[in-house]
Amino acid sequence: MEFRHTTVLLHEMIDSVLTDPHGIYVDCTLGGGGHSLALSEKLADDGLLIGVDQDQEAIDAASERLKGTACCHLFVRDNFSHISDILSSLSIEKVDGFIFDLGVSSHQLDDGERGFSYMNNGKLDMRMDRRNPLTAYEIVNTYDEEDLSCIIREYGEERWAKRIARFIVDFRKDKPIETTDDLVHVIKAAIPANARRSGPHPAKRTFQAIRIEVNNELGILKDTMEACVNHLKVGGRLGVITFQSLEDRIIKNAFREMERDCICPPDLPVCMCHHHRTVKGLGKARKPSEKEVEENPRARSAVLRVVERV
């Protein structure tokens, strides 16, 4: 299947992060290479773009797509949470910019074999890195009811989490839940009919929650943001696009903490933390235009936040 992905907030991201056409930039969520291609086209011959992704299909697609651009390219198959080790292995200490697009690629969603989508039937998988031993199948069929309920409630913000977890556990007593269609069927049975008539697809929040658990998407974000800032040159920039409120809250709070000079409790009369700000925010969070949302409905929830190293 051809790797397809519609890049969101493309020009807003590149215009915000690119400061030196001769610099070093890291696209930490390479995907199909949309942001990387636009960035590469603005880099000089001596500029360097490093693309990081844990999905080999994404790296193959992006490396092919970027062949015609003039700047230097390096591609690394790894999780962006290992950014310090990745840069160390390349003998690079400081860079000019980092890009993160935290959305699941259209290719992964549309490829039924990857098991991400409640719209396309396939085996329950949801691994962004197929070397990961934990799949959606293991979570759905082995986690106990309380853990399932907690994951669906916390990561999916699903009001029917407890009921969905109970239905999953009851269903798998007879046979395993093996496919995305099986799971959608259980979720629809769990959510009352009147609650299914409005809002998004009834399985959307549960699928999101399980995907986050499979890939530990939220657990790595704060530490990764701090690591990236530590590797930014003064004046270098970090741009992050999120697609759901849990991610955006983590990014917003991480940036806010790094923008503050003191993080002591407000009731302390004297600063004891000796914390100094490392970044400044660049304007308000940006969202897609109405035109972009009309052309690509998946962009609707996207939010771009950018900070600059000080």
Domain containing residue 152: CATH number = 1.10.150.170
72-79: long-range contacts, CB 8 A cutoff, minimum separation 24 = 72/46, 72/47, 72/48, 73/40, 73/48, 73/49, 74/48, 74/49, 74/50, 75/30, 75/50, 75/51, 76/50, 76/51, 76/52, 77/53, 78/52, 78/54, 79/54, 79/129, 79/220
Mean pLDDT across the stretch 23-30? 97
The residue out of 158, 190, 215 marking a domain boundary is: 215
pTM, two decimals, is 0.84
Buried b (16+ CB within 10 A) or exposed e, 27-64: bbbbbbbbbbbbbbeebeeebbbbbbbbbebbbebbbe
| Integer Rg of the chain from CA | 21
Determine the pLDDT at residue 106. 64
- Whether 1 is covered by a domain: the verdict is no
- Whether 4 is covered by a domain: the verdict is no
The residue out of 187, 215, 243 marking a domain boundary is: 215
CA distance 40 to 49: 7
Determine the pLDDT at residue 105. 67
- Whether 255 is covered by a domain: the verdict is yes
Q: Do 96 and 227 lie in a common domain?
A: yes
Does 94 or 110 have the greater pLDDT score?
A: 94
Mean pLDDT across the stretch 21-26? 98
Q: What is the mean pLDDT of the chain?
A: 92
Within 10 Å of residue 221's Cβ, how many Cβ atoms?
Answer: 23
Q: Which domain holds residue 263?
A: 10-102+218-309
Q: Do 79 and 207 lie in a common domain?
A: no
Angle formed at CA 11 by CA 6 and CA 13, multiple of 5 degrees: 90
Q: Do 96 and 225 lie in a common domain?
A: yes
Q: Do 206 and 222 lie in a common domain?
A: no
Question: What total of structural domains would you count in the chain?
Answer: 2
**In the structure, what pLDDT confidence band is assigned to residue 1 with cuts at 50, 70 and 90?**
very low
pLDDT tens by residue, 2-13:
455 678 999 999
Share of the chain above pLDDT 70, in %: 96
Mean pLDDT across the stretch 190-204? 88
CA distance 193 to 207: 19
pLDDT tens by residue, 73-88:
999 999 999 999 999 9
Q: Do 74 and 223 lie in a common domain?
A: yes
CATH, residue 80: 3.40.50.150
- Whether 68 is covered by a domain: the verdict is yes
- pLDDT value at 196 more than 90: no
Q: Do 91 and 225 lie in a common domain?
A: yes
- Whether 110 is covered by a domain: the verdict is no
Q: Do 232 and 85 lie in a common domain?
A: yes
Q: Do 166 and 242 lie in a common domain?
A: no
The amino acid at 88:
S
- Whether 3 is covered by a domain: the verdict is no
pLDDT tens by residue, 244-290:
899 999 999 999 999 998 777 888 878 877 778 999 999 999 999 99
Q: Do 170 and 30 lie in a common domain?
A: no
Determine the pLDDT at residue 5. 60
- Whether 291 is covered by a domain: the verdict is yes
Q: Do 33 and 79 lie in a common domain?
A: yes
Share of the chain above pLDDT 90, in %: 76
Q: Do 241 and 172 lie in a common domain?
A: no
3-state secondary structure of 26: strand
- Whether 157 is covered by a domain: the verdict is yes
Q: Strands 232-242 and 72-77, how do they pair? A: unpaired
Q: Do 224 and 210 lie in a common domain?
A: no
The residue out of 182, 215, 248 marking a domain boundary is: 215
